[in-house]
Amino acid sequence: CGAMGDDADTLRILVATDCHLGYLERDTVRGNDSLRSFEEILRLAVDHNVDMLLLGGDLFHDNKPSRKTLYRTMDLLRTYCMGDRPCPIQICSDQSVNFHNRKCVNYEDPNLNIALPVFSIHGNHDDPSGDEQLCALDLLSAAGFVNHFGRTREVDDIEITPVLMQKGNTKVALYGLGSVRDERLHRTFRDKKVTMKAPAESPDQWFNMFVIHQNRVKHGPTNFIPESFLPPMLDLVIWGHEHKCEIEPVHNETGNFFITQPGSSVATALSEGEAVKKHVGLLEIREKSFRLSRLVLKTVRPFAMGEVVLSESGLDTNQHKAIEDLLVSEVNKLIKRAQHEYSERSPDGPAMKPLVRLKVEYSGGFASFNSQRFGQRYLQEVANPKDILLFHRRRAAHKPSEA
């Protein structure tokens, strides 16, 4: 794509997902991580003067966020999303279909001064429940801070009506589908019962963008949504739910569309995927082309992961002290690596204890030991002292693999 300025035909969107607000909120060290990075995202949106912020679900970690989390979230949204910047996006679709709550996008409400409109689908963590099928996003919608879209009541026959957005010559059809149980949605897709209602008027002029919150990685025969299920009319898919940052758009050859997977803004597991450097995307759309620039999240807690295989360490199974020394030395290396990565990414950031995870493969007669006790020595240095070590045995080498 060519250069795209901050001009009248370029729709500029900050794209993020899986903020998991309220995650571990009672943890004295990590309790504020999710909100801190969400605030960074809001600040990035304001600083980059985008036209909107687009979220891919799991804004909240808990289906019923605590009062404190809800309060702080509303406080942040009120602080960053209100103001005098007029929103240049014109909505051409039927808003009463797009936005089930107030039937109107928030920045067109004459009583609210919205500078940064937020659009979000819901994830599996913050999905609707109860007789009125309300979710935490609906509270933010009622307050006027978020435009919750992509809710479907029907799961076996889904028609997705896009939000039609226009800025100058650029026309974007934004399709959203809040989280649905994967097996169920897999079946509905397979049965060709998911329809995306393309705009009737000059359909080929629209940039078609789909926001989805499902397993992208195969977790079982139908426990994911294959990319091949998605219609080729799409131009760009924003994939939420997967926490690993793979924000660089990947081209899907069959469908001839791109997929970007922003990943979470807070690690909710000590896994490889969450250890990847976290970004959000600055998406610029001009007519039918787009550009996505990644913006690193500086406030994310540093996290380093490593592995040691005891049977390859040259130590004997009864050399307990030496084994422990080895693990201490490996953990120290991880701490250094995490701190180094953090100081490069965020040279002016405040000191932050890193997350550290050392996987210990202990097959071959080695004993595991108490990870919690081991972590005592790292109370001042590591954010997760209790679960630094993860002991595991390698799967039997000759076990036949599943079909």
Residues that bind a second copy (CB under 8 A): 64, 66-68, 70-71, 74-75, 78, 82-84, 101-102, 110-114, 130-132, 134-136, 138-139, 142-145
130 binds, among Mn ion, a second copy, none (CB under 5 to 8 A by kind): a second copy
Task: By CB under 5 A, name the one of 61, 186, 241, 353 that touches Mn ion.
Answer: 241
Active site residue 219: no
Q: Which residues contact 386 (CB under 8 A, 6 or more apart)?
A: 371, 372, 375
- Residue closer to a second copy (CB basis): 138 or 235: 138
Interior/surface letters 231-244, b for 16+ CB within 10 angstroms, e for the rest = eebbbbbbbbbbbb
Q: Which is nearer to a second copy, 66 or 371 (CB)?
A: 66
| Residue whose beta carbon is closest to Mn ion | 58
Residue 124 contacts which entry, Mn ion, a second copy, none (Cβ below 5-8 A, type-dependent): Mn ion
For Mn ion, the closer CB: 124 or 141? 124
Of the candidates 275, 258, 286, 291, the one whose C-alpha atom is nearest the C-alpha of residue 341 is 275
Q: Is 58 in the site for Mn ion (CB under 5 A)?
A: yes
Minimum distance between the CB of residue 156 and a second copy, rounded to whole angstroms? 26
CA contacts within 13 A on the Cβ side of 136: 25
| CB closer to a second copy out of 153 and 321 | 153
Minimum distance, C-beta of residue 179 to a second copy, in the bound complex (Å): 17
- The whole-angstrom separation of Cα 16 and Cα 165 is 19
Residue 253's binding partner, choosing from Mn ion, a second copy, none, with beta-carbon cut-off 5 to 8 A by kind? Answer: none
Range 5-44, binding Mn ion (CB under 5 A) = 18
Nearest to 236 by CA among 283, 185, 167, 297: 283
Instruction: For residues 195 and 189, give the distance between their C-alpha atoms in angstroms, rounded to a whole number.
Output: 9
Q: Does 126 bind Mn ion (CB under 5 A)?
A: no
Out of 20, 61, 125, 243, pick the active-site residue. Answer: 125
353 lies in the binding site for Mn ion (CB under 5 A): no
The residue among 145 and 303 lying less far from a second copy, judged by its C-beta, is 145
Q: How far apart are CA 3 and CA 6, in angstroms?
A: 10
Q: Are strands 90-91 and 163-167 parallel, antiparallel or unpaired?
A: antiparallel
Residue whose entry in the numeric block shows the structure tokens 């977790």: 219
Pairwise CA distance, residues 148 & 211, whole Å: 12
* Stretch binding Mn ion (CB under 5 A), from 76-84, 185-193, 198-206, 238-246: 238-246
d(CA 282, CA 287): 16
Return the CA Rg of the chain: 23
The only residue of 22, 65, 117, 123 in contact with Mn ion, by rule CB under 5 A = 123
Q: Would you name the residues annotated as active-site residues?
A: 125
